[in-house]
Amino acid sequence: MNGGDIIIPAVAGDGSLYPVEKMQAHIDGVLHLAVSVFVFDGDLLLVQRRAAGKYHCPGLWANSCCTHPNWNESLEMSAARRLREELGITLPLTRHATVEYNAPVGRGLREHERVTFFSGQADRRQLEVAPAPAEVEAVDWIDRFELRRAVLNRPERFAPWLRIYLELFPTLDLGQSLPASS
Tell me whether residue 113 is annotated as binding.
yes
Tell me whether residue 56 is annotated as binding.
no
Tell me whether residue 111 is annotated as binding.
yes
Smallest Cα–Cα separation from 92: which of 39, 19, 50? 39
Rounded to whole angstroms, the Cα distance separating 176 from 87 reads 25
Of the candidates 66, 73, 76, 146, the residue annotated as catalytic is 66
Which residues, 6+ apart, have CB-to-CB distance to 167 below 8 Å?
none
Q: How many CA atoms lie within 13 A of 4 on its CB side?
A: 1
With contact defined as beta carbons under 8 Å apart, do 109 and 159 qualify?
no
Answer yes or no: 57 catalytic: no
Tell me whether residue 73 is annotated as binding.
no
Tell me whether residue 32 is annotated as binding.
yes
Answer yes or no: 65 catalytic: no
Tell me whether residue 128 is annotated as binding.
no
Of the candidates 65, 113, 135, 137, the residue annotated as catalytic is 113
Rounded to whole angstroms, the Cα distance separating 66 from 79 reads 7
Q: Which residues are catalytic?
A: 66, 113
Residues of each annotated binding site for Mg(2+): 86
Residue positions in the annotated binding site? 26, 32, 68, 86, 111, 113
